[in-house]
Structure 1
């Protein structure tokens, strides 16, 4: 497999063979059959063949991280330590060794954050409302680390494990009678776990847990790098979002300006056609009034007097509708409100970018 990957870079396989290739990838990693700056990536997809690829690891994985020293004791404690002790008198349910170890971890993080210019603070303790199912307080961790406008919270917990329970004679009798009796119990271990929250999307991982071989001080640099990487990505996402919003705003503004121009053109054309129609009507009335005057000369005196009144009103009306009686100039533009420009917005919202058309 490795020889083929070194020459072709990728191998496609059926989904039924995914287990085999995953095992092969684990063996290749354990036996160090590829350089440290490379990795095997298995891609499983329903719409295309599965594949395993030998590719270069991301640059952030290759950065040489400086170790973060955890003090043996907390003598000159950071202000966040005092705040943490004050807000967590029950020590998060930890035993004394694990709580002291957690305080030393927080001390190391606090000093490193001060060194890098980050803000670190203790979050308020959770206030549990007995009448509600959920916590009132939105905080998910005991400490919060802020890098610029972005922050992440770290939740420290003592790990627990399940062990067989030694039953009392009474419990043995209840079990023999068919009653349910728990045969396992949860006990505290010598390890702590840290859960990262507040910034979505992981690079290394979100849940960090100690083991017999791995203690927190060994992965503390990566944990802090994880926060930095997520914060940097949040900055990039906001910049990209701002760029898209600016482009959307500019696109909308261009369409809006064109819509206003088209509205003005339509309004002027409507005014012009209206003036032309009024002029035609005025000319028609002028011809008819001239014929009325000729007719009135053949009428009797009484009928001619009545006709003169009608002719007088007709001439006044004809003059009032004749646009040439007024000053000739460009008409003023209409008010470009949302309803007026809607027919010219090319299905974009007249109320602003990103808003509903209706």
Structure 2
């Protein structure tokens, strides 16, 4: 409310009321500002918790993919081992000579290759989890953005 001199009330007489009104409005604005800061702080805390949980879920999903890849590699190596074994059986029935010697060389190469492919030939261990990029975390964040609250 704008104050001014009037015949009924001098501006000087209204000054205390004006100062009180300005003070109250200033205090209300400061409370709103502090409330907004607190709301933003709480939102950031929730976002940071969501990011931490997303990192945990990302790591678990990475381990699962690694585990499944090891199983697929094992199945592949098992099939190749069976194939090399079948070839070996066939080659052993061949008469000695150049063709058999070349086939045995191939069998040696293939058996070595299969041995390197088989994940069971090394002790299992948890994979090193790479540092996730923002987009790597997106599937685990729900409504949150990986870039900030």
TM over 0.5: yes
What residue is the counterpart of 2:145 in the other structure? Answer: 349
SS in 2 for 1:214: coil
Aligned to 2:86: 291
How many positions carry a matched residue from both structures? 148
Alpha-carbon distance in structure 2 between the residues aligned to 1:344 and 1:322: 32
Cα drift, residue 256 of structure 1:
1.4
Q: Does 1:274 align with 2:66?
A: no
Report Cα offsets for 1:241-281 as digits up to 9, x if no partner: 12211221122122212211111111000000100111111
Find 2:25's aligned residue among 216, 230, 239.
230
Match in the other structure for 2:124 = 328
Match of 1:240 in 2: 35
Structure with the higher helix share, 1 or 2? 2
Gaps of 5+ in 1: 1-204, 354-358
In 1, the alpha carbon distance for the partners of 2:106 and 2:92 equals: 14
Residue-by-residue CA offset, 1:135-164 (whole Å, 9 max, x unaligned): xxxxxxxxxxxxxxxxxxxxxxxxxxxxxx
Instruction: State the match for 2:53 in structure 1.
Output: 258
- Relative to total residues, which structure has the larger strand share, 1 or 2? 1
* DSSP-derived class of the 2:105 partner: helix
Matches of 1:254 and 1:345 in 2, distance apart? 10
TM-score, normalised relative to structure 2: 0.92
By how many angstroms is 1:298 displaced?
A: 2.1
- Partners of 1:280 and 1:306 in 2: how far apart? 27
Provide the TM-score with structure 1 as the length reference: 0.40
What whole-Å deviation, never above 9, does each CA across 1:190-241 have from its counterpart, x for those lacking one? xxxxxxxxxxxxxxx2x22111222111100011112211111122112211
Q: Which runs of 4+ in 1 moved over 3 A?
A: none
| Unaligned segments of structure 2, at least 5 residues | none
Q: Which residue of 1 aligns with 2:136?
A: 340
